[in-house]
Structure 1
Amino acid sequence: MPGTPTDLTRLRITLTAFFALDGFIFAGWVVRIPAIKEQTGASAGTLGLALLGVSAGAVITMMLTGRLCHRYGNHQVTVVCAVLLSLSVSLPPLTHSPLTLGLVLLVFGAAYGGINVAFNSAAVDLVRAMRRPIMPSFHAAFSLGGMVGAGLGGLVAGALTPTQHLFGLTVIGLLVTALIGPALLRLRPPAPPHAPPKNSPKTSPQNPPKQDTPPHRLTPRTRGLVFTFGLIALCTAFGEGALADWSALHLEQDLDATAGAAAIGYACFALAMTAGRLTGTRLLERLGRTRTLVSGGTTAALGMLLGALAPTLWAAVLGFVITGLGLANLFPVAVERAGTLAGPDGVAIASTLGYGGMLLGPPAIGFMADWYSLPAALTSVAVLAAVAAGIGFLTRHAAEN
């Protein structure tokens, strides 16, 4: 089983590739949604209902995947879900009605939710074995894969039909899985050490982990902590979803930005979040989990207040950048702590709550914007970021132990 530094490094590289592949495929699908809408003849409302298939499939499968990981192993489930994700992304352009689109998106969402639980669970095992807080690096790979997938999708959109483009993603996904899947299956998961990973730069993978059995039945206290870290994931994902759907409209509608300038706002937020995750391991080693959660949540809250209430375009964009840097490492830390406490079940719970936050964010902002105004509604992102910081402080002993 992976215990030597070389084996652990190989496992880290392989998992990183799967995270990047997941982001690449999902972003490739997202950029084709307008074309699929036109093909199926869906209205905005019926398209929204069809897109709920992704969410429903993901949420349902996330809880089931935790059990499958216990039974068959994180690595095996990751590879199977990668194959299913690659195959299912080619299905949407074959549909010609909102109903059939929603049904195939259930399958796509199930594969997406499954692989997210499986490879996050595998990453948690590796974090514990390496005794280094490397979780943000995996999520940075997902973000980078998404940026490449979206950029490539934009480049080929005029030359390829949705069927050709998404079938190409299927081929790429299957080829990548065929290349790196066997390596992941050969590497057995590292046994978790008795002591949890420490946030000290002095720790290293030179001391091989001792075998331990991940918990299958959670005590009430452990379950409560898992849900608490899941709330941090929810608060973080709420902000991500809200900014993805509403940041451009805020800049264009409230600050009179052009459409091109308005699009820069979310792009800067996404770039800042990716940069924050790329430096997340070093930040965690320097600050520890608690201070990372508290400082990140506080930074995001202040940044979002600026982004929502600033009177000028570039001040608002600066606020989005600060928000992205603050939110960057909250979700990875929350999922890692939930997984350390409860294994794949903990990852499933935190991921489900996080995904729920991403689903809740856009419509909640819309309702609040109708009641008050869009800038006022966006301050809810700041409120939830502050809540995440508060939870991080209150759970400081559980976060570090």
Structure 2
Amino acid sequence: MHFGRYDYAAFLTFFAYAAGSVIVPVSLVELTHDLGFSLEDGGMTAGGALQIGRTIPMVLAMLVVGFIAGRWGNRTTLGTSVLLMSSGIALCSIAPSYGILFCALVLAGFGEGVIEGIATPFVQDLHPKEPGRYINLTHSFWSVGVLATVLLSGGLLSLGVSWRILTAAVALIGCVAASLILIPAKHGAHAVVHQTLSLNNVWTQALQILRFPLFWRFYAAMFLAGGGEFCLTFWSASHIRLHFNASAWASGLGVACFALAMVIGRMASGYFVPQNGLRKLILIAAALGTMVCILLPLSPNIWIFDGLLFLAGLATAPFWPSIQSYATHRMPKLDSTMLLILLSCAGVPGCGVFTYFMGAMSNQSGSLTLAFYLVPVAYILITVLIATDRARKG
């Protein structure tokens, strides 16, 4: 495997994207106290709604990212979107109320939607041979970002550092990533910029994919994969603090177990699993994830919960990048950039919808515990979708 400057820029982009996504849920308890609403008093729906506020603009951005990238090219589009995301996160750090925080997350969501849609095609353009390996490895830096953020923020929050300072630091990291992307490379394969296309060509590619029946199978799998992964990322810290009466550091450590396993799982998948092994990888991961996540709500103490979170992270790790890359392998005649963008348009809504419903179910039941059963249901459905794919022609 060979890497250039744009690869390292993509690694840092996923790191900043992940840090911006988890800094709010990790500091949610402190944030609610500062902004005047309580999770214990029916506020879990409001907490979950923050992710909905982020998800809707993400989806809207992804619906047009193909046209934007077709006009300006992948590199310029990606770098500008990282700057937009960083601006939204910076505004979060100075938000005086829940409403302003919500609006700042909407702004960040527009940038994140473009990142989600274009970052994977950006990496695929850099490595047209064996792209699945590079995509899995690059996506592992999402988990590196989650791991570093929850550990550092959990420890610093316990020491009394303001969540606002931590959020501003995440925004700064995003600005560094944007600068690395926007400065053109002069030599080598990583100087290649994606060819621009007319709006008519982009629209034709999108319609061709949407009319392809097999696409919708992978669309559903991505929706479920996004929902399962982000439910565990978003709500685990709050569950540990409220259910086990733990500190911010202990809750961050729990999410760190999940993130560390995601790092290991994605890096191992990228290094060891060839393109033709992705289907088997997804099926094994879905079976393991189902078994582990059924046991997760039954954990009698925080240590068992953390251990199961680690196993859940190993199982969850390959889903998002592997389903996307496997889909391009199964539908090779379709434009890979537009296909990856449209599949991301399924994963991101899955994140928001599942996160919101977990919060709503928790308000109804009075506990997050039962809501965690949404995750194994999602993984069972992924198993069915991928296992029955072999009988269909690509």
TM-score range (shorter-chain normalised) is 0.7 to 0.9
What is the CA deviation profile of residues 208-238 of structure 1, one whole-angstrom value per residue up to 9, with x for unaligned ones?
Answer: xxxxx99724436764333321222222222
Distance in 1 separating the partners of 2:36 and 2:366? 33
The answer to whether the 8 Å contact 2:227/2:352 transfers is yes
Distance in 2 separating the partners of 1:153 and 1:264? 10
Other structure's SS at 1:24 match:
helix
Distance 1:127 1:234, change over 3 A: farther
Unaligned runs of 5+ in 1: 192-212
Distance in 2 separating the partners of 1:134 and 1:64? 25
The answer to whether the 8 Å contact 2:227/2:351 transfers is yes
| % identical aligned pairs | 21
Q: Which of 303-312 and 385-394 deviates more?
A: 303-312
| Structure-2 residue corresponding to 1:14 | 9
Write the mapping of 1:168-183 to structure 2, written as runs, cut at 5 A: 168-183=169-184
User: Is 1:386 aligned with 2:380?
Assistant: yes
What is the CA deviation profile of residues 333-390 of structure 1, one whole-angstrom value per residue up to 9, with x for unaligned ones?
Answer: 1223456644343223222221222222234345556469865543332222122122
Other structure's SS at 1:259 match:
coil
Structure 1 counterpart of 2:9, one-letter code? T
The answer to whether the 8 Å contact 1:62/1:114 transfers is yes
| Structure-1 residue corresponding to 2:346 | 353
Distance 1:55 1:190, change over 3 A: closer
| Structure-2 residue corresponding to 1:138 | 138
Corresponding residue pairs, total: 372
Distance 1:127 1:302, change over 3 A: farther
Distance in 1 separating the partners of 2:98 and 2:214? 40
For residue 40 of structure 1, report the CA deviation from its aligned partner.
Answer: 3.9
Distance 1:217 1:258, change over 3 A: closer
Distance in 1 separating the partners of 2:26 and 2:302? 25
Other structure's SS at 1:96 match:
coil
What is the CA deviation profile of residues 247-300 of structure 1, one whole-angstrom value per residue up to 9, with x for unaligned ones?
Answer: 46767888xx45256765443222222211111123422870110111111111
Other structure's SS at 1:138 match:
helix
Structure 1 counterpart of 2:75, one-letter code? H
- Relative to the length of structure 1, the TM-score reads 0.77
| Structure-1 residue corresponding to 2:102 | 102
Structure 2 counterpart of 1:307, one-letter code? L
Distance 1:353 1:371, change over 3 A: same
Write the mapping of 1:32-181 to structure 2, written as runs, cut at 5 A: 32-42=27-37, 44=43, 49=49, 52-130=52-130, 133-154=133-154, 156-157=156-157, 161=162, 164-181=165-182
Distance 1:281 1:50, change over 3 A: closer
For residue 34 of structure 1, report the CA deviation from its aligned partner.
Answer: 4.7
332, 337, 344: which one pairs with 2:321?
Answer: 332
The answer to whether the 8 Å contact 2:15/2:143 transfers is yes
For residue 120 of structure 1, report the CA deviation from its aligned partner.
Answer: 1.6
225, 243, 246: which one pairs with 1:259?
Answer: 246
Other structure's SS at 2:183 match:
helix
The answer to whether the 8 Å contact 1:15/1:119 transfers is yes
The answer to whether the 8 Å contact 2:136/2:318 transfers is yes
Q: Which of 48-57 and 64-73 deviates more?
A: 48-57
What is the CA deviation profile of residues 53-85 of structure 1, one whole-angstrom value per residue up to 9, with x for unaligned ones?
Answer: 222221211211122122222211111111112
Write the mapping of 1:182-331 to structure 2, written as runs, cut at 5 A: 182-183=183-184, 187-189=191-193, 216-219=205-208, 223-247=212-236, 257-259=244-246, 264-285=253-274, 288-309=277-298, 314-331=303-320
Distance in 2 separating the partners of 1:251 and 1:34? 11
Other structure's SS at 1:320 match:
helix
For residue 183 of structure 1, report the CA deviation from its aligned partner.
Answer: 4.2
Structure 2 counterpart of 1:267, one-letter code? A
For residue 188 of structure 1, report the CA deviation from its aligned partner.
Answer: 1.6
The answer to whether the 8 Å contact 1:134/1:280 transfers is no
Q: Which structure carries more relative contact order (alpha carbon 8 Å, separation 6+)?
A: 2
Structure 2 counterpart of 1:18, one-letter code? T
The answer to whether the 8 Å contact 1:236/1:331 transfers is yes
The answer to whether the 8 Å contact 1:277/1:329 transfers is yes
The answer to whether the 8 Å contact 2:131/2:325 transfers is no
The answer to whether the 8 Å contact 2:9/2:177 transfers is no
Other structure's SS at 2:221 match:
helix
- Relative to the length of structure 2, the TM-score reads 0.78
Other structure's SS at 2:133 match:
coil
What is the CA deviation profile of residues 301-344 of structure 1, one whole-angstrom value per residue up to 9, with x for unaligned ones?
Answer: 11112323466665554433322211110111122345664434
Unaligned runs of 5+ in 2: 196-201
Query: Once superposed, what is the RMSD of the aligned Cα atoms?
Result: 3.7
Distance 1:280 1:362, change over 3 A: same
Other structure's SS at 1:303 match:
helix
